[in-house]
Chains A and B, each alone.
Chain A
């Protein structure tokens, strides 16, 4: 029984094992800290992803919501807010609120909560045409910018207030908007926007009311089986009467100069160019013209007008100002033009 010499016995006892244990411990610590870094990174990525989902959902509401607000303007007064139902999306819970800042401007805020609970919001100011607010900005029967020609202004008269049948429905609103009294004749005024319709642009108008008018035409009422027919030059009748087209107000637009030769009609006529009424033409409603407005050879217009490059009323022609019919025309156009448009300068307000 010879034992192993002491110096070899220490080797066989093993320094390798403690060394290995130490190394394994160091590796475990390293792996653990790497795991912590990876876990933290994974958590941050999930948070970022969740926030991005919430943000996109909130922004999506601002794009989709305006179409759903069509019925709101009559129900909300200036200064009031309402919560609006929003169609849910699989990735987030949505809420939206609409506040009326003035007759034409609306604050819309959308908030989204993603599935992990992160929230994001986005807000914007929208503009929607209001007939009363528009009329209050146009001070005269014919409004023209400063410095443009105004030949025959003496043949522009004004109606007494609220005499038209069309005024009945809007009498209270008109009373509050026109405390200063009746319309003036031709009024020089700086009207923001090219045609006095506020924040709505000509591109918006042509998108909403396709420019169907050609170079010239003769408007005339056209009945079809007891109804007022749909036709480019059917602008209803110039006087309310017991016919299908009697109280119709149309909306028409053009992308160039237009001559109206004779005929009759009523409505909102938007011309991106010059407009000439001639040969006994009788039009009632509102004319918004970026170029020159000319009435000649017995033409007659009743309502309100904006002429961007001046007005000329020949001795045989005549204009009578009427807030009533202008209001009725704008009111009838609210269906086509009364959409919520993002107001430039406040289209994305961010979240605070």
Chain B
């Protein structure tokens, strides 16, 4: 009776030790898997963040620069900045009088004389820049142009100086600059502060605006490499003149 009981006790101990060892091994494996999963998740989030940053930089800068001509509408000021006329709308004049334009206008926002200027485009292809002094709703310009005619509004603009009758189009713009600084793509309107447009994901000054034989582009180096090489070249314009 005693012997049987002793044998039974010994067997249980071995079983318990094996169970504990296996249990610890399993816990270690599970924690390792958990840590690896967490790391993977983290790198996926960083990768997504990096992709988003690349996408924003590409869309914003390409959209802004494609509306103008290098040297006239925008130029690379420093390796980390581009100064430009940021076009915000276009208007076509129906009636031109001294200093006043009756136009049909379409844009991303309403004109703002505090910050906006106008680029007058003449029939000869010449252009002229003037300050927008006042604007208000107009009545005489009922043109509805393009594929979706509903987006146009009749307005009356007052512009500095005397206006020529050969004006074909008027482009509304604000002076601004884009910067890749302090870890993000930033936009600065006039002399205001530099507002971030992306998260703080960029490594600066490694990231910046570069010009080479192929044209103008942005070299983007991410702060966190996310388990891979996260340096990207975003082409912005083929010719920089």
Q: Does A associate with B in a complex?
A: yes
B residues sitting closer than 8 Å to A (CB atoms) are 4-5, 8-9, 12-13, 15-16, 19-20, 22-23, 26-27, 30-31, 33-34, 37-38, 40-41, 44-45, 47-48, 51-52, 55, 59, 63, 66-69, 87, 89-90, 92, 94, 106-108, 119, 121-127, 143-149, 151, 166, 168-169, 171
Q: Which residue of B lies closest to A191 (CB)?
A: B124
A residues sitting closer than 8 Å to B (CB atoms) are 2, 4-5, 8, 11-12, 15-16, 19-20, 23-24, 26-27, 30-31, 33-34, 37-38, 40-41, 44-45, 48, 79, 81, 83, 95-97, 99, 101-102, 104-105, 107, 109-111, 121, 123, 125, 127, 133, 192-193, 198-199, 343-350, 352
CB atoms of B145 and A346 under 8 A apart = no
CB atoms of B87 and A350 under 8 A apart = yes
CB atoms of A83 and B147 under 8 A apart = yes
CA distance A2 to B3 in the complex (A): 12
Q: Top 10 A-B pairs ranked by shortest CB distance? A: A192-B124, A109-B146, A199-B125, A23-B30, A345-B121, A344-B125, A345-B127, A99-B145, A105-B168, A111-B147
| Cβ of A317 to closest chain B Cβ, rounded Å | 31
A-B contacts at CB below 8 angstroms, number? 164
> Which residues of chain B have C-beta atoms less than 8 A from A2's C-beta?
4-5, 8
CA distance A327 to B33 in the complex (A): 84
CB atoms of B34 and A95 under 8 A apart = no
CB atoms of A123 and B90 under 8 A apart = yes
Knowing that A23-B34, A101-B168 are A-B contacts, what are 13 other residue pairs whose CB atoms are under 8 Å apart, sorted by A's residue number?
Answer: A2-B8, A8-B13, A11-B19, A16-B19, A19-B27, A30-B34, A38-B48, A97-B145, A97-B147, A99-B146, A127-B123, A192-B166, A343-B121
> Which residues of chain A have C-beta atoms less than 8 A from B147's C-beta?
83, 95-97, 109-111, 121
Q: Give the residue of A30, A34, A347, A350 whose beta carbon is less than 8 angstroms from that of B63.
A: A350
Residue from B20, B90, B149 with most neighbouring chain A CB atoms (10 Å): B90
| Cross-chain pairs A/B with CB under 8 angstroms, 10 sampled | A19-B23, A19-B27, A23-B27, A23-B30, A27-B30, A27-B34, A37-B45, A44-B55, A345-B69, A352-B107
